[in-house]
Chains A and B, each alone.
Chain A
Amino acid sequence: MNSFSLEDKEDISIVLCGAAGQGIQTVEQFLTHVLQEDGYNVAATKEYMSRVRGGTNSTEIRISSKRVSAFVDRIDIFIPLNKTAIARQRKRITKDTIIISESELIKDEIDISKYKVIEIPWTELAQEIGSKVYLNTIAAGLIAELFQLDQEIGKKYLRNRFASKGEEIIQKNFEAFNKGCEIADTLISEKGLKIAIKKSSKKDKELLYNGASAVGMGAIAGGCNFICSYPMSPSTGVLVFLAKHAHDFDILVEQAEDEIAAINAGLGAAYAGARAMVTTSGGGFALMGEGLSLSGIIETPIVIHVAQRPGPGTGLPTRTEQGDLELVLYAGHGDFPRIILAPGSLQDAFYITQKAFNLADKFQVPVIILTDQYFMDLYYNIPPPDISKISIEKHITKTEKGYKRYKYTENGISPRGIPGYGEGLVRADSDEHTEDGFITEDLDVTRVKMVEKRLKKFDEVKKNVIPPDLLGTDKYKTLIIGWGSTFTAIKEALDIIADKEISFLHFKQVYPLHQKTKEFLEKAEKVIIIENNVTSQFSKLIKLYTGFEIKNKILKFNGMPFSVEELVEKIKKIEEV
């Protein structure tokens, strides 16, 4: 019986599904790290409920002969860990899906005889070792062995993971891991459950990080030395990452009483010379609106990371959406320049966040980085960033007597002094002000000149826009437009469609738009925009600044990211018209 063989697959998708607190994340962490270390290409995404215990959460782990970095619907191996798991994932389970489970958990939901079910008495086996908690390690061992993992790597990971719990717990986990391996060996020999994923041929060490860590690493490489934020899903990962590395890199990390305090503290720190950052989500950013505007008038740099989740209101706290583009575009009263960036890949997240600090410092403007829950929690292996390509550009001036903080200059950018560095006095004023920072109501001269000065900086910003990436031929007939986190899913979908006349234009800077945007759009016979929101916010922005109206829209707003398969299907459907 060969029906369990997965040997013909170049890409395996494993989904674990169970209640919060059952340890799915532990298994995810284990498998992604050890398999990556053993040389496989891996990617992981998760979706979870806004609760600490119970409910039904799931993690998808892809192990592939090629690089992978997006979410797929297909499930090759499904491991349900509670009774609601099947119902929650029913749409994705097919006759080809191998279900590894205790019959108790699935018998009420599916006809076991009609699916590829492998019954394993997890709970009983775990209890034989000593406790139900070892179930996860048995499952992890089973999957690892299916991929013929070097067992030393697995044991090294377990030893580190449970080091603080003592030798006995480590040994119990080894026992559980070995049990999983034994079961896998039986499945391979008796059921023919064989996997033939090739390891990567790359010799160099790869990194395995998620979006939150990639943004955090970018911030560290950008010179960030101050972060003040209020915890809010799904943005907190960045705060946690910087806190974890604060000691090594001299970063002052402070949890604020609210988001209003966070951004005001960030601006105070930047005024005094720090490279400051805040991280939040839509609701928290809404509270920062006045502070954003303050950054505009006092011309003090700040990097604001906004990890989007579906609104309005509290919305779906642990889900994903690209619904806050218009919020960050229009937030803050009055007119002032701003920059909005939206990384598509984990590499982008690193380089873009790094660059955000330089841009903020150079133009003395707020720089917003837009990500989302899907991106924050998305893991895959990437080549290490090239540090020789980056530099921390500082634009702080030592002041002299008579220093004027808002001195008129040709490009609107005044040399930025900070208090205590030089003989000058540095006056930052949220009221309309004179060149030396004093409150003024001289309307016809000073007010007008100051408004013009601030907007002149925007002309400089526009000369430094990150160009959109064109994937595919420049002689395209159809042009797909995407921005931010949809990059990897769209790219993989187009690889599958393999139509040489379709190209993909991805924007990692969404505002201001690159000057060639219109040219790209007008060259296409057909333009399709793909966005994870309901009103196609980016196409509205494109229309506003280029006059070009995109008619074909693929939109999703149920709180989940696009899967590769649904993009293939939806793009093909539009192409057939």
Chain B
Amino acid sequence: MSKKNIFDMDDIDIAWCPGCGDFQILTTLKEALVELDIKPNNLVLVSGIGQAAKTPQYLNCNFFNGLHGRSLPVAWAIKATNPELVVIAESGDGCSYGEGGNHFIHTVRRNPNITNFVHNNMIYGLTKGQASPTSRFGMKTGIQVDGVILDPFNPLTIAIGLDASFVARTYAGDQKHMKEMMIKAIKHKGYALLDILQPCVSFNKLNTYQWFKERIYYLENHDPTNRLEALKRAAEVEKFPLGIFYVNEKPTFEENTEVYHTNKKPIYKRERDLKKFSEKFL
């Protein structure tokens, strides 16, 4: 592999299947980070568990590869402890919307200045092909032998419904669009959700490259500040519009947190004043 990017790693043994959309996401992410001039030691990638959650292993940067479903609480806490870091939480649909569903809801409300990339392949890959929260109704798997009987989780309508700060969708099969969306999501101040549609070539025989190709289209003449319109587009079921659905500029969690109101210094750099302790309590 020719070295062309500071985030590239030498000698890595990638655990993804050939043809997996994760490869396009990884390459595009590295390009986006270079374009944004982000330094590896100033970036923390936070992930949960799953195939998508292995992404940080293949990038030259700080990472916190935590527990299944728990990337978001880790990510906001890192950002709150040191707002000078760029923090990206990256995981799959099972991790982000299933196991971590409660954290997803409340991180939207909390609005930390972090970016959330969700590789959404509508299947559980690492555990070899069970339904994910975004699997389509009727999809048969080794567990859902009669087909999925739950309606799919729609992360975009949930996020917009909660008045999220930034909500977008892209598709791993269109790297140009994906890069543009990644850059905009990272640059956005506040919690930015980028749902990345992605085929799983090994376990999802339903939602293939062809299947997505027939259903995606690009949002045009869409006003991302119009919440009702955004909800309408996000709620479409037959087709998958791509682009920025909703942008709502508002103060971030760190800005709203009292510790940073007047003092911008990260809390970990501040010294506890024991003299003040004595004055206050003794």
Contacts and interface: CB of A to CB of B under 8 A. Distances in A.
B81 A246 contact: no
B252 interface: no
B278 A246 contact: no
A428 B78 contact: no
Contacts of B42: 419-420
Interface in A41-100: none
A273 B73 contact: no
A291 B67 contact: yes
A268 B281 contact: no
B49 interface: yes
Interface size class of A (residues with CB under 8 A): 35 or more
Contacts, number: 171
The 9 A-B residue pairs with the shortest CB-CB distance, nearest first, are A273-B268, A268-B77, A268-B74, A272-B81, A265-B77, A257-B106, A419-B62, A264-B73, A261-B73
Contacts of A220: 272, 277
Contact of A273 (B82, B102, B273, B282): B82
Contacts of B179: none
Interface in A243-277: 245-252, 254, 256-258, 260-262, 264-269, 271-274, 276
10 contacts: A220-B272, A225-B267, A260-B102, A261-B102, A264-B74, A268-B64, A387-B282, A418-B82, A419-B62, A430-B67
Contacts of A392: 272, 274
A267 B66 contact: yes
Contacts of B77: 226, 228, 264-269, 272, 274, 276
Interface in B40-63: 40-42, 44, 46, 49, 54, 56-57, 60-63
B49 A271 contact: no
A250 B267 contact: yes
Contact of A261 (B49, B103, B272): B103
B91 interface: no
A226 B57 contact: no
Interface in A217-249: 217, 220-221, 223, 225-226, 228, 245-249
A167 interface: no
B258 interface: yes
Interface of A: 205, 207, 217, 220-221, 223, 225-226, 228, 245-252, 254, 256-258, 260-262, 264-269, 271-274, 276, 290-291, 294, 298, 384-385, 387, 390, 392, 418-420, 422-431, 437-439
Contacts of B4: none
A391 to B, nearest CB: 8
Contact of B41 (A274, A276, A425): A425
Given A264-B70, A271-B74, A425-B60, A257 B268 contact: no
A301 to B, nearest CB: 13
A237 to B, nearest CB: 16
B168 to A, nearest CB: 24
A273 B276 CA distance: 22
A302 B270 CA distance: 18
A69 B157 CA distance: 56
A57 B103 CA distance: 37
Given A273-B81, A419-B85, A427-B63, A245 B280 contact: yes
B137 to A, nearest CB: 28
Interface string B118-136: 0000000000000000000
B210 interface: no
